[in-house]
A and B are shown apart, each in its own frame.
Chain A
Amino acid sequence: MATDWRPGAALTALRARAKLLSDLRAFFAAQAVMEVETPLLCRAGVTDPALEPLVVDTHEGLRFLQTSPEYAMKRLLAAGSGDIYQISKAFRAGEVGRRHNPEYTLLEYYRLDVDHRVLAREVAALVSRLLARDGWQVWPYRTLFRQLLQVDPFHDPVSRLVTAAEAAAGEIPDDLDRDGLLDLLMSHAIEPQLAEWGVVVVTDYPASQAALARTAVVDGEVVGCRFECYADGVELANGYWELGDPHELRQRFHADNRRRLALGLPERPIDEAMLAAHEAGLPACAGVALGVDRLLALQLGTRDIRDVVSFDWSRS
């Protein structure tokens, strides 16, 4: 059989990709946000137990293909870059599906002196414009769960979360912790309902899911100052009001590594250069990462990013 050398995406999709990239660059140019480049191959990867980097054997030891350019960009912020953005490839081992390709295009950007809510609105406005939608909705994570699933994600006992997860997904792994159950409810029960809602921003996550966001007390609850932007139920962007405290960051990295060990995963080296930049001082800022392939897929009305990537994982 002849080797299938042709691209998986139609040429019209590739033209739309070129247009989207130029629209994004025009958006940032108009607001004097500087485009930057940072290394794809890094000495340290992320400690997040849910992310597996691809490891490259270089002539000078192992390096990690970046899962996002976040750490290097924060070093630029600490060095005084001001508002910056980057459109680059990012890599995540083992993530293949309709909405995932192990190598994908990511837009990452940072704004000084704004919090996650201000940035979330800017992202929602940008996404709404690019998808030709009239507007967007903003929902706190807790309200969304209570409204759609009659579940309180902050206070209901695990048994209640298990019942709701089984109602949504049938039989589920029996060793999921609280955050695992919430993740499952989000992907199996909430996202399908958001499919009808257009552009939706979800804010104020459980503190245990703050990742690199700072935490704050909102209505008497400690929440992670984090947001996600969805369009038609597809997760497009994840943003933080960035945590600047190097000591708390180090603690979170260590906690990640303890969870990795408990899950039987290898420990990851901690990015000391990134922490040193925070010691020197990360300016108050919010940052967001947006999946460009998914945004393009939505623009073109397809549910499968393989339709908009020239050569996906199976063809690369």
Chain B
Amino acid sequence: MANYSTNEFKPGLKVMLDGEPCSILENEFVKPGKGQAFNRVKLRNLKSGRVWERTFRSGESLEGADVMDHDLEYSYTDGEFWYFMDPDSFEQHAADKAAVGETEKWLKEQEKYEVTLYNGSPLSVTPPNFIELEITETDPGLKGDTAQGGSKPATLSTGAVVRVPLFISQGEVIRVDTRSGEYVSRASKS
């Protein structure tokens, strides 16, 4: 991989630090008029998700990390791994529990997910911002309650539980914001 100097550090650049792939969040150049220049850098460790703060001498460089984001289709799980397929090459990638993390509850077959590959292996899986899922279980809907507020829990086909309005019933497909885990609307009929 190429090396990147501190003046090439831009938010989103993927670099290796202490043997771990990291994504640069912030880079601030600090320098007195007379004296040495430094770069104060914030990086997210892509494996642990932790944010690191480091000070580099300006002009120092880090090796780029072989980290790429791909849009892959979720296929299935065997309980240990979750399998994602590249729709162009049909290549399969197996993501482990650590890579899938919280996204597990939004995994729907044939849906596309942003899979971050590090040296070819999945490092993290990010769901689309909005996803349409079927309600497999919720208390019976209350007719005529559409104007009133109020909500109830509903279990979705992926196992996720979200709060939905009282008028939504079992078997309906709803649109959910995966970032907040909130109900957005009934799914558009198409």
Interface residues of A (CB under 8 A from B): 48, 50, 94-100, 169-173, 176, 179-180, 182-184, 186-188, 209, 211, 226, 228, 235, 238, 289, 291
Contacts and interface: CB of A to CB of B under 8 A. Distances in A.
Contacts of A97: 28-30
A203 B7 CA distance: 31
B34 A48 contact: yes
Contacts of A289: 33
Contacts of B31: 50, 95, 100, 187
A94 to B, nearest CB: 6
Nearest to A166: B55
Interface in B18-58: 28-38, 40, 52-58
Contact of A50 (B34, B53, B54, B56): B34
**Interface footprint category on B:** 20 to 34
A169 B37 contact: no
A110 B31 CA distance: 24
B153 interface: no
A32 B57 CA distance: 43
A310 to B, nearest CB: 21
A170 B34 contact: no
A100 B58 CA distance: 13
Contacts of B40: 169, 188
A188 B30 contact: yes
Contact of B35 (A50, A94, A171): A50
B15 to A, nearest CB: 15
Contacts of B34: 48, 50, 209, 211, 226, 238
Contacts of B181: none
A179 B34 CA distance: 11
A50 B59 contact: no
A171 B55 contact: yes
A98 B39 CA distance: 12
Contact of B7 (A50, A96, A187, A238): A96
B109 interface: no
Contacts of B59: 94
B32 A170 contact: no
A95 B37 contact: yes
Given A173-B57, A184-B36, A235-B33, 10 more contacts: A50-B31, A99-B29, A99-B30, A170-B55, A173-B55, A183-B38, A209-B34, A228-B33, A235-B32, A289-B33
A179 B35 contact: yes
Contacts of A172: 55
A188 B95 CA distance: 41
